[in-house]
Structure 1
Amino acid sequence: MDETGENFSDATGSALSQESRPAVVEAREHVSLNGVHVMAAATVRAHLAGGEEEWSRFAMHWEDLSQDRYASERGTCRLRRYGRFSLTPATGDLSQLPHCPFVQPDRSNPLYVDVVRHFDPLTNAFAADPLLRSVVSLLGHVAGALDSAPDWIVKVHPFRVVAAADGEGQPTPEGRHRDGVTLVSSLLVGRSNAIGGRSTVVTADGAELLSTTLEEPATLLLSDDRSTLHGVSPIRPLDPARPAHRDVLVTTLTPA
């Protein structure tokens, strides 16, 4: 346990490594006090299962996403899937929940108020990937600084935003918004021929807390969704003759 009584074990029930423990404690402190924190890629990778081969395998899941027709209706090319899990902090148990439509809570995302959206589920390989489970484990430790929930509902959204050649792609067409959860996170998985995509987190009254571009794969942006709003600027192709894309894993936690 740390000084707060948090049991630092991962989703398999084993203890966090000595290398990753200080970074998790720092993330908990910053998110609870400041509402936002960025974990460097090297720090995140130190926590995750496996090495470069495992990360490459994980990134390949983004080659098997489905078209987001709701975004397409608004002129944004976005690919995604969606899945839900239940996480029990006391035991580290993580179990996948039945697939269902995605509805964002009232007064959170203004673009999709009362819209019931149907997305394809995570593939079986994605849902069972040990690296995904390590990510959720890490997020569970951070969320514990915001709420001592006996169980968390974890919502997993792999996204690929595409910018056509000489065009742009909108990671957040709704602009700055909340997700209506406790902890919201964005893990950069990869960028191809992309410039832009700057992430900004602000207070409820619009004061900027952080603005950064996630450049290195495995960089993780964390924010307290109850007290902040977040948004991402458009991406554009570095080489305007070729398309660009930005791959992220957005994961949210809210008490069950």
Structure 2
Amino acid sequence: MLKSQKKLNFNCLNDYVLETLNTLNLERLDDSFNNLPADPYIAENYRFRRLSSFNIVNNQLVKLPHSPLFQSKKYNPLVGDVVRDYAELEQNLVELPDFQTIVREFFEFCQLCSDVNQIKANEISVHQIRTVANPQEVGYPAPEGIHRDGVTLVGIFSVSRHKIEGAATSLYKSKDQDPVFNKILNPGEFVIFSDRQLFHFTSVIKATTAEVGTRDVFVLTYPGLRPPKDWVQA
């Protein structure tokens, strides 16, 4: 049963919601970001990433077989039409109750949207992403600019921010309008929104000390972004 009033009032066709999951042990989640491999599809070394997909069966997370990520250039002009293969999330992270709480929370909104789109909410992809910055170089959480991902729902959960400024997340009804939502997500905050109705973007991060600064997030999508069965990369 959906418990929160935010879920009961959520309109999958055009809505977004901001929640705070304040009972999680974020430090345990944050530790796992130290083991992320560099994103090989970004030329500059400012992003680190893993990706796994899950079903929810009887309220339990069931990890799906490994699959690469694919977006067309319509949604990702930077690395669209490229099959991207990322390492899986580490098993000790997947087994953490706090991680599973985040995925289940997102899944409850997916169930609402499965009714709207007459499809079963049976696949959630979780992108574990660290963006870094240093005094000489900024980091780009969204190097593709204002965009959609080509899914039904997107969720961005903030795990940590260390020695940085910036990284405001914005949602737009169209690319040429002012944002309907604009906020730096603090650790524990979770914004969930309709990717079919809203574009999104996150501004650059800048280091605030002489050391490397980091922004750690989980980006969840429903459904996942898999290559078409007949896709042949040129």
Distance, in Å, in 2 between the alignment partners of 1:122 and 1:146 is 26
Q: Is the 8 A contact 2:37 2:50 kept in 1?
A: yes
Distance, in Å, in 1 between the alignment partners of 2:8 and 2:114 is 11
Q: Is the 8 A contact 1:85 1:96 kept in 2?
A: yes
Structure 2 portions without partners, runs of 5+: 226-234
**Which structure shows the bigger proportion of residues in helix conformation?**
1
Q: Is the 8 A contact 2:146 2:199 kept in 1?
A: yes
Distance, in Å, in 2 between the alignment partners of 1:31 and 1:162 is 34
TM superposition score normalised by structure 1:
0.79
Name 2:70's counterpart in structure 1: 103
Distance, in Å, in 1 between the alignment partners of 2:217 and 2:167 is 11
- 1:181 paired with 2:151, answer yes
Q: Deviations over 1:197-224 (max 9, x none)?
A: 0101101354321111112x11111110
Q: Which residues of 2 match residues 1-256 of structure 1 at below 5 A?
A: 7-8=1-2, 21-22=3-4, 25-27=5-7, 29-32=9-12, 34-39=14-19, 41=20, 44-46=21-23, 51=24, 54-71=25-42, 73=43, 75-88=44-57, 91-105=58-72, 107-148=74-115, 149-204=119-174, 206-207=176-177, 208-215=179-186, 217-239=187-209, 241-254=210-223
Give 1:31 shift: 4.9
Q: Deviations over 1:26-47 (max 9, x none)?
A: 14524536522211x3xx134x
* Identity among equivalent pairs (%): 27
Q: Is the 8 A contact 2:70 2:82 kept in 1?
A: yes
TM superposition score normalised by structure 2:
0.86
1:223 to 1:151, Cα distance in 2 relative to 1, 3 A: closer
RMSD (CA atoms): 2.1
Name 2:229's counterpart in structure 1: none
Q: Deviations over 1:76-117 (max 9, x none)?
A: 5101111011125xx434310011211125622222221011
Aligned partner letter, 1:61: S
Moved over 4 A (4+): none
1:198 to 1:255, Cα distance in 2 relative to 1, 3 A: closer
Q: Is the 8 A contact 1:203 1:228 kept in 2?
A: yes
Distance, in Å, in 2 between the alignment partners of 1:31 and 1:59 is 31
Give 1:121 shift: 1.0
Q: Is the 8 A contact 1:28 1:142 kept in 2?
A: no
